[in-house]
Each structure stands twice: as C-alpha cells, then as structure tokens.
Amino acid sequence: MGTTKSFRTNDVERAWYVVDMTDLPLGRAATQIATILRGKHKPQFTLHSDVGDFVVAVNASKTTLTGNKAEREKYRWHTGYVGHLRGRTLGEMMEKKPEFMVRKAVKGMLPKGPLGRAMLRKLKVYAGAEHPHEAQQPEALDISQKAK
C-alpha cells in the first residue's frame, strides 16, 4: 500500500496568474482567487503548507456587486478617539478603495493565522489595468465561466 506524499512549501513551483475583474461579482471572483492562492487546484495540495500560486487581480474598480449589497452592507471602524466611530457602505468603499475591498473579500476566505497571511501575501490587487509584474510572465486566467 502506498503512502500519501505531503508537500512542503519549498517543494512546490509557483505560477503567476492575472485575473481581470471587469464585470465579475466580487464574492464569486474572490472564491476563485482564494482557491488558487490556497493551491486547491493543484494535485500537490497539502492542507498545512502554502502550495498555492501568485494572483494579480487587475481592474478591481470595475468589479460588480449583486443585489442591493452596495447600500445594505456597512463597514465600521473606530479611530481610537472618543466618539469617533466611522462607517461607510460597501458601495462607497468600492468607489474609494476597490483594492482594499477585493483583498478583504479574499482574506475572509483563507485560513486564519500565519498560513493564511502567507497566502494573502501572494495576492496583488490593482484598481486599473496596469500592473508591475510583467517580468514574472503571468498567465491570463479566465474565471468568468466559473464565476457564473
């Protein structure tokens, strides 16, 4: 009977992918990105190791929201001063900080702790179509069929 091979983080070759987020629903695109960052699309997937690939998400400002989430969902934070509880709707946050919102959506779908933080470091998000990762020769990854 054979044994199961457990892969370490250093044993895996990493690929680079570019995801165009234009007209993709935020949550559905984030699940596909989290799957790639985690490495679940590879046969070498190991639960306790970071075996995923790098993802460059472009056009984050053109991501869509389904339903009435733009008005319904609220984000709140406290500045640290007395009475300074701040808040914005998801629609306002997507207009002002689309990179932050895509990153936050993917972060919620990754493991918590040091392993999840290591996976999140492999995500590069840009509001426009330009990115500085051409030297890595990233492949274009079409997740539009999977996201629908």
Task: Please report the pLDDT score of residue 146 as a whole number.
Answer: 54
Which tokens hold the place of 146? 């999977």
Which tokens hold the place of 127? 């509001």
Domains of the chain: 13-66+97-147 (3.90.1180.10)
Task: Please report the pLDDT score of residue 87 as a whole number.
Answer: 96
Residue 35 near residue 17, CB atoms below 8 Å: no
Q: Which residue has the tokens 């030297």?
A: 135
Which tokens hold the place of 11? 């044993």
Residue 16 near residue 24, CB atoms below 8 Å: no
Per-residue pLDDT of the chain (148 residues; tens, 9 = 90+): 668 788 888 888 999 999 999 999 999 999 999 999 999 999 999 999 999 999 999 999 999 999 999 999 999 999 999 999 999 999 999 999 999 999 999 999 999 999 999 999 999 999 999 999 999 999 999 987 554 4
Which tokens hold the place of 104? 């936050």
| Residue (of 27, 37, 12, 62) closest to 124 by Cα position | 37
Which amino acid, one-letter code, is at 33? I
Residue 33 near residue 55, CB atoms below 8 Å: yes
What 3-state DSSP class applies to 79? Answer: coil
- Integer CA distances (angstroms), 76 to 73, 79, 85, 88, 93, in order: 10, 10, 7, 7, 11
Task: Please report the pLDDT score of residue 147 as a whole number.
Answer: 47
Residue 41 near residue 35, CB atoms below 8 Å: yes
Task: Please report the pLDDT score of residue 144 as a whole number.
Answer: 76
Which tokens hold the place of 95? 């207009």
pTM: 0.90
